[in-house]
A and B are shown apart, each in its own frame.
Chain A
Amino acid sequence: MKKFVHVWLVTWLFTGLSVAIAQDQTVSGTVTSEKDGASVPGVSVAVKGTTQGTLTNAAGAYSIAVNSRATLVFSAIGFVTQEMAVGNRSVINVVLAEDTKTLNEVVVTALGISRDKKALGYSAQGVDNEELVQNRQTNLVNALQGKVAGVTINSTGGAPGQGARILIRGINSIDVGRDNQPLFVIDGILLDNSTSTTGSGSELRGMSNRAADINPDDVESINILKGGAATALYGLRGANGVVVITTKSGKAGALRANFSSTYGVENVNKFPEIQDKYTIGYKGEYDPNSFWPSWGPTVADAKKIDPTHPDKLYNHFKDAYRQGQQFQNNLSFSGGTDKVTFLSSISHLYHEGVIPFTSFNKLSARLNAQVKFSEKFTTSTNLNFINSGGDRYNADRFNESLNYWSPRYDVRDYIKPDGTMKTYGNNNPIYGAYTNKLKDNVNRLIGGVNFNYTPLTWLSLNYRAGLDTYSDSRLRTAPGPRGFADEYVYEDNALGFVYQYNTQFRSITSTFTASGTANFGDNLKATLRVGHDLYDRRSRSFGAEGNELTVYNYFDLRNAKSITPKQSAEDYRLMGIFGELTLEYQNYLYLTLTGRNDITSSLLAPNNSFFYPSASASYVFSQHLKLPQSISLGKLRASYAKIGKDALPYSTTTGYASYSSLPTGYTGFTRGDVLGDPTLRPEFTETFEGGLELGFFGSRLGLDFTYYHSLSKDQIIQVNVTSATGYSKAVINSGTMRNQGVELALRGSPIKKSNFSWDVNLNFSANRNTVISIREGLKEISYASQSGYAGSTVTQKLIPGTAYGNLYGTSYKRYYAKGSEGEEDPITIDKSRPIVIGTNGFPVRNTAQKLIGNALPRWVGGLNNNISYRDFSLSVLFDAQVGQYRYNQLDNFFSAFGIAKYTENRNETKVFDGVLADGTPNTKEVFLGQGKGPDGVDYNVGYYRNVYRGISENFVEDASWVRLRSVRLGYNLPASLFKKGPIRNVQLSVTGNNLWLATKYKGYDPEASSFNSGSNVTGFTGFVYPAVRSFLFSLNVGF
């Protein structure tokens, strides 16, 4: 319906407009340059709102027939576009100003300091509101996807409100428990972006990363600070990069209002391929109640035995998911006088996911106000209240149960009239989603005040205090059994439970800076900033887990047979004193030196106070040297930084924790998990970065290239230690890790006319990581694994000399001639060698875990196109992550349960390609199915269960992808429609997300992850909440 209205409006408006245009006078004139007064040839002179136009000749002259109400638009490469109303003039001469936008671009850097981009000795890249909201992503982190070089973003799945992970320039810490994600700062306040997995079951339920609370519509711009020099002033918290968010502020003038509304629908974008030939049973024998969903006979054979068998199997994977939908509404007001300006906004999101009974709600209200008391003193306040949360379900369990479910039965028929589970025997996944619940509810307040005092023209003082506080309540429930004789209890619900958790979080940020500027002669200018910075974080969690409900569906702790309390507390404080000196020589040479001393509560004196410096330089050679006209900007930059890092809180202590497994009435203590070290020292990372920025033809083409190298030594890591130490982890100073990479950002405007423009933005980055050392006496650190059948478990481990993210597992045994077995590398697989076939005719498994692939991408890229033609705008965003591998646990189960399409060959015979132990080619023909083969041999449970499912190599897949991330088409209704009345502009748009995906990966969209967005583990994409393809329809009205 909406589409139809859209088309109708467009047609109507065009007809109306063409009537209004009539030419009744001729205007002529010349165009000159402001800089040297020379005439400018080739200037486009267009009549605004029409297709009419001409160009200036070699002498810069033009002539055009127009209507007196028309406006002329003068535009040319390298100049600022100018508009002139015709009125009753017949001669209009125009002086065009040079476009120096690229040179004078101002960016928000550390601590909210605005600086000229040209003065920066490090790379900085920003995303403005328009770009940010172009694909209407509800999670701020997802909204950055593909838009910034050097940044890798993965949405961990398609659940409403599901967390997204962001990494800048790769993984920096060997410790899988350390946060490698950047610091988030909003209007100078530190924003918590953790993904909390507090509470039973939340690990696998796609909890939100806390930055998802921020409404992207409120954001004016986001700047990404990547390297050490860029983040130096943030101190150790900025060690993984910083995402600096600036929210919108009001402008003086009339009151403005804006309303936008979006409705969207979504579906799973990619399903795994499943077989549709074999039905329920085992070893080819039909059994309608079998545990085995697909090892039975063919559908045709089953129908002969059981006439009630459906003609075709269901596609239970497609059936179990539904169409999701979402509603977003935003309303904002802004305005003010020259003394007071404000912006207020309220937004609401309701989102239903593709797994039944999953949803997410977010309500956000914001007030930003600025008061200018005098020319010397200004103050501003930002307040943002958010309520968010939803119904989360365990996608891992949902998909696992789908594997067990036989497609002989309709999975959507999940409930009996009495409310208990309907099933032929196995657990119904939809019933699980219906009854086994986790709801979270977050109430959050982010607020800050900022005072700015400029007592003298050369001196300014700034103080900012901010608060980020929230309560996160979680309720986890499952009903108990009803006690009916024919009742099937959903396995995970056990005897019913009610768990409640509450976390209180608050952090305070306080920053004071003083900056002074002085000129030394005509050529040298110096700016000195000194400051003090404090961060104080406190969190308290309480919970109670009640098991076994007496009233089956009364979810109250007083209704539970046993109650286990849960509690934890953490305090952390950090203070920094910093200084920054910037020297500016003749507008082309810049040098910035910084130093910061941190005092942290997580290390013991004297190790808790430490200093580190940085230096960066920028040489704008285009301002210094005579360059060809076409080169409008040329800049070289280089920086060096040393960044310190402290430990996780309480890493220096060792004690006894409450032992919670005792029955009610008993209390006990047990050794804590972690062996602390009171002598821990801060770890330091040294980074070097060099770059080149070039601009051509004014702002029409820009290039920004960066190379960086960083080395973290003596890392503070929690390593898993043998339980024979009495601890599960120990905190130590050990290990070295290196990251190096390149980033390239290209911006271009192939077409730039008043009515038609096309901007292209290409980002590319590649990072290489090496774990140089881990710890003495330790050969490897294994930090994550996911199970596979028959020994095919895949493990991620760190081995010195290899990269973070490597996936290890079992493989096909490769042939090494007798005597040359020693040539076999203990880590890598030589895939050029033939596979060894056993005397039974089947491939032989190498049970030692070997390297199969790395989970981090070789390179990531994004290509964003923005085309605007008259009142239409079109954005097309592609992005790619290439070279990463994922363990597909789903496919491991698919082979074990005969669900994969490729298992349809189960009743065929085959000669496996490979050689026997003596090196001679294998010629033995074997049966792939279960039971007796045509040769009379008993093949027991068949090739897929006997051999295939046990070899990890089959399931660690190339998960590279290229996708059409989004396409957005917008249409602005002509302003002439709203001359009377309060409406100023109306925009209609339609957005499609995830429209096309190219990948070899066999499972769901490989972008999703089995691990939550706060985790550093990215190698597992099996039973995930599938990604979605969505279509969103938006209306935006400005008043």
Chain B
Amino acid sequence: MEYRTGSPCEKLNARQKQYSLIPTFTNSLIIMMKRTILIITLLTTLGMSGCKDYFDLNENPNQVITPPLKSLLSTTTQKTALNSQNVADFTSYFVQYLASPSAGSNTDTYQETSYSSTWDAIYYAMADLTDMKRLATEQNSSEYVGVADVMLSYHLNLIADTYGSGPFTQAFKAETLIPAYDSPEDMYNKGLRLLDDGIAELSKTDSNIKLSAADDLIHGGKREAWLKTAYALKARMLNKISKKANYDPAAVLEAVSKSYTSNADDAQMGVFLLRSPWAQTARNNALLVLDGWLSNQLIDQLNGTTYGLFDPRVEKITDKTIDDVYKGTVNGAGNSTAASNTVKDESYISLNSPLTGDSSALLIVTYAEVKLIEAEAALRAGNSERAYKAYLEGIKANMDKLGVATAARDKYVGNPIVSVGAANLTLDLIFKEKYVITYLNPEAWVDARRFDYKYKGFKLPVSAALTTFIRRVAYPTNEISENGVNVPAASPLSEPLFWDK
């Protein structure tokens, strides 16, 4: 007896596919019995050689092998925004936007804590971006390549600015399961290089496949918008090395000039499965999972305690307490009152804020921030007129973004404490204002370290584990167990990263 290889088995497979998923038991038994007998008959009569296909089940029904570019764009744009929030979720304690309601909490007091899930989320996003870039290169889509470069650079910076370094050159390949770490300087240079590559790709107008507007959760498929974001991120990166000898304010200003021109350009994501993660924090807090308490450092700056000037943005950031004031919590000290934690006698992340409401967008990089970068670079370059103009524009843009009424905005900006005149503009003032503008953005921690935490009134958390402010976080414990041979030797969390020295 001779059969063409496989054919009887294909029929068998076809029959199997028709088989109802919700059988009645008697029917199923009869069907099964019949089929079993059929299988056996086939197997014993045909012999095994004719039935190789029967054992060929290596196509995983739960996966696809080549996803379309747009299906990776939706994934990676969302992951980019969520990862920005993932990092801010703990760095916001270091910059004292947030303070833990319980005394001595790990993050609040600089204890070595393993932020494994954030590290993993960033790396998984980079893996998807690497694949999107590879597939886009194969399909000659300069737009997808460019967007992948920009987001890869963003993630590379999240790792480098938080941990110091991480695997990159050897990462995301099946060849090694223990990828080596790139040096911190390499991480920086590669990040910058990716932005330049991205800018080059996004400048092309003949992409074989254009960005899918419906699948781009950040810029709705607009190539020009991504190009501006690439420049905004480049400005950020160039400005980050302000402590280094090769800091070049002119280069920063050049990137700024090609970047955002209004709040409408901001890189942000505002669609969620249920709600913004910050809104979830606010809701959890209301449900007794205490979280999202604002620090007295932030509140005191905003409510006039620190600078003697009420900042109307406080109304857009948080709610008044039951005592009709804005009140922050001291980092490391926990809840200051003995009363039940459900009593709103402190200020929390608010659902009423345009930054932390259910459908509030997560901000990755904004026009207001770029203006303050411009202010800093211009000031460092000695161009205080440009600096002052950018400084005021940045504050206004931020207030507009938050929906502060024009009168209140102008009243604040017009106050001599803010409107000091170009000649009197200082880095302290720029960092002070940028501190509010980058509320809940991980970039705030980069600034805090560049500024050596010299914000007015900034104190070490109560019972801090370090004697100085925190400069880095420890490598995650699972990374140490899974890639221990490559993880750099542990340094104290007070040890500055390379650009911070």
| A positions within 8 Å CB-CB of B | 282, 285, 287, 289-291, 383, 385, 425-427, 443, 445, 447, 449, 463, 465, 467, 469, 471, 488-489, 491, 494-495, 504, 506, 508, 510, 512, 532, 534, 536, 540, 547-548, 561-562, 564, 567-573, 575, 599-602, 604-605, 608, 649-650, 652-657, 659, 661-664, 666-672, 675, 719-728, 730, 732, 775, 777-782, 797, 940-941
Contacts and interface: CB of A to CB of B under 8 A. Distances in A.
A669 B82 CA distance: 16
Interface centre among A443, A445, A663, A668 (most CB of B within 10 A): A668
Given A548-B274, A669-B75, A443 B25 contact: yes
Contacts of A491: 287-289
B78 A661 contact: yes
Nearest to B77: A668
A287 B342 CA distance: 14
B54 interface: yes
A779 B482 CA distance: 8
A725 B63 contact: no
Contacts of A568: 62
B62 A650 contact: yes
B178 A778 contact: yes
Given A669-B67, A724-B171, A575 B43 contact: yes
The 6 closest A-B pairs by CB, nearest first: A726-B127, A655-B63, A668-B75, A723-B123, A289-B340, A669-B67
Nearest to B173: A725
B131 to A, nearest CB: 7
Interface centre among A385, A463, A671 (most CB of B within 10 A): A671
Nearest to B171: A724
Nearest to A444: B25
B44 A532 contact: yes
B36 A573 contact: no
B131 A469 contact: no
Contacts of A670: 72, 75, 124, 128
A748 B100 CA distance: 66
B483 interface: yes
A606 to B, nearest CB: 11
A334 to B, nearest CB: 22
Interface in B114-131: 119-120, 123-124, 126-128, 130-131
Contact of B48 (A467, A599, A779): A599
Interface in B212-237: 215, 217
A777 B57 CA distance: 32
B417 interface: no
B146 to A, nearest CB: 19
Contacts of B479: 722-724
Interface stretch (B26-34, B296-304, B369-377): B26-34
A66 B56 CA distance: 77
Contacts of B23: 469
Contacts of A427: 288
B485 A726 contact: no
Given A561-B274, A668-B71, 8 more contacts: A508-B39, A510-B40, A601-B57, A655-B63, A666-B78, A667-B74, A668-B75, A723-B120
B57 A572 contact: yes
Contacts of B71: 667-669
Contact of A797 (B33, B74, B481): B481
B484 interface: yes
B172 interface: yes
B124 A290 contact: no
B485 A777 contact: yes
Contacts of A777: 177-178, 485
Contact of B60 (A599, A655, A663): A655
B3 interface: no
Interface centre among A562, A602, A723 (most CB of B within 10 A): A723
Contacts of A600: 55
Contacts of B36: 465, 467, 508, 510
B339 interface: yes
A469 B271 contact: no
A383 B479 CA distance: 51
A728 B120 contact: yes
B376 to A, nearest CB: 33
B64 interface: yes
Interface string B35-73: 111011001100010001011111111111111000111
A19 to B, nearest CB: 56
A504 to B, nearest CB: 5
A608 B55 contact: yes
B273 A562 contact: yes
Nearest to B35: A508
Contact of A512 (B44, B127, B339): B44
Interface string B458-501: 00000100000000000000110111110000000000000000
Contacts of B22: 471, 504
B193 to A, nearest CB: 19
A941 B82 CA distance: 36
Given A467-B36, A512-B40, A287 B338 contact: yes
Nearest to B341: A291
B104 interface: yes
B63 A285 contact: no
Interface centre among A443, A463, A661, A669 (most CB of B within 10 A): A669
A725 B52 CA distance: 33
25 contacts: A290-B338, A290-B340, A425-B340, A445-B29, A467-B33, A469-B23, A469-B28, A469-B32, A534-B39, A650-B60, A653-B59, A653-B63, A656-B65, A659-B75, A662-B78, A663-B271, A669-B75, A722-B478, A724-B166, A725-B127, A726-B172, A730-B177, A777-B177, A777-B178, A781-B481
Nearest to A464: B36
B127 A669 contact: no
B247 interface: no
B74 A672 contact: no
B171 to A, nearest CB: 4
Contacts of A726: 123-124, 126-128, 130-131, 171-172
Contacts of A720: 478, 481-482
A532 B43 contact: yes
B418 interface: no
A782 B58 contact: no
A671 B127 contact: yes
Nearest to B280: A494
A782 B481 contact: yes
B171 A668 contact: no
A483 to B, nearest CB: 13
Given A601-B56, A777-B178, A663 B272 contact: yes
Contacts of B215: 666, 668
B462 to A, nearest CB: 10
Given A491-B288, A649-B57, A534 B40 contact: yes
Nearest to B66: A656
A397 to B, nearest CB: 13
A575 B78 contact: no
Contacts of B44: 512, 532
Nearest to B340: A289
A601 B21 CA distance: 22
Contacts of B104: 941
A856 B123 CA distance: 36
A668 B74 contact: yes
Given A467-B32, A573-B55, A669-B75, A655 B271 contact: no
Contacts of A561: 274
Contacts of B484: 778-780
A666 B73 CA distance: 11
A941 B173 CA distance: 48
Interface in B324-350: 338-342
Contacts of B485: 777, 779
Nearest to B290: A291
A728 B483 CA distance: 12
Contacts of B176: 725
A599 B75 CA distance: 39
B58 to A, nearest CB: 5
